[in-house]
Amino acid sequence: MASLTTTGAPVARVRGHHRSFGETHVLRSIDLDIAPGEFVALLGRSGCGKSTLLRSLSGLDPTPTEEVEVAGRTSVAFQEPRLLPWRRVHENVELALLNSPERRQREELARRTLVEVGLEEKLDVWPLQLSGGQAQRVSLARALVSSPDLLLLDEPFSALDALTRIDMHQLVIELWRRHAMAVLIVTHDVDEAIALADRVLVMDSGRIAREWSIEPRRDDRDLSKPEIARIRAELLDALGVRPTPPNPNREPVRDQGAA
């Protein structure tokens, strides 16, 4: 994976990216640009290649330099928090800073980031003492502490209850605004994608099949509004999912800045 250096270039550029495992073609000639500060949601049925594309962007899998280029730092938060149970919360966050030789600097950055995600009082507890939502906040803090230019989220909220997910959506938007980073979230949840993203992509059979720009501000994305209802119906159709009524109790994400 190469690095982009041209001024004004996208934070990530994918051109003709192909991945195969044996005779199975998982990604087929993917083209994708992610702009600096853009929030992109990636939807698709299981096995369509979403997580494989995320791994290519993160550098977790080797990729040809002419196919995948990323500017600056990337970090990833997964569906499972993947916290080390024998390390305290702040130590788990500090794992992302092992290249920093100054212990005090690592500790201060970890503390500051845990404050950002609302876990200042959990600095010294063990992971097994955390709720599911708190553990996911620690995972998010670990991804943020290195100040990434591109944050990759692989279904990070799918194991959480509905109310905790809504709280996490608001937190992610607030952190995205504050850190001015690009975000790519992989999700199965159409309503989550509409609530969070500037742009929604649908993958099918290893290709990006369709995309939608979500223009209204996030706090004006009531699922009953005609424009949002239309996009939701089109996304469900593209995914081959029978339309279902939106949750009437779900409030739009508060949007502190421009959409």
CATH of region 37-59+72-219 = 3.40.50.300
Residue 91 CA to residue 111 CA, distance in Å, equals 10
**pLDDT reported for residue 245:** 65
Joined tokens for residue 69 = 């280029």
Summarised one tens digit per residue, pLDDT across range 216-255 is: 999 889 888 999 999 999 999 999 887 666 665 566 787 7
Residue 213 CA to residue 131 CA, distance in Å, equals 35
**pLDDT reported for residue 101:** 65
Rounded to two decimals, the pTM is: 0.89
**pLDDT reported for residue 7:** 46
User: Any residues with CB less than 8 A from the CB of 151 and at least 6 apart, and which?
Assistant: 74, 75, 76, 77, 143, 144, 176, 181, 182, 183, 184
**pLDDT tens digits in sequence order for the chain, 259 residues long:** 555 544 468 999 999 998 888 778 889 899 999 999 999 999 988 888 898 999 999 988 888 888 999 988 999 998 889 999 999 999 999 999 877 768 888 899 999 999 999 999 999 999 999 999 999 999 999 999 999 999 999 998 888 888 888 899 999 999 999 999 999 999 989 999 999 999 999 999 889 999 999 999 998 898 889 999 999 999 999 998 876 666 655 667 877 655 4
Joined tokens for residue 224 = 């009953």
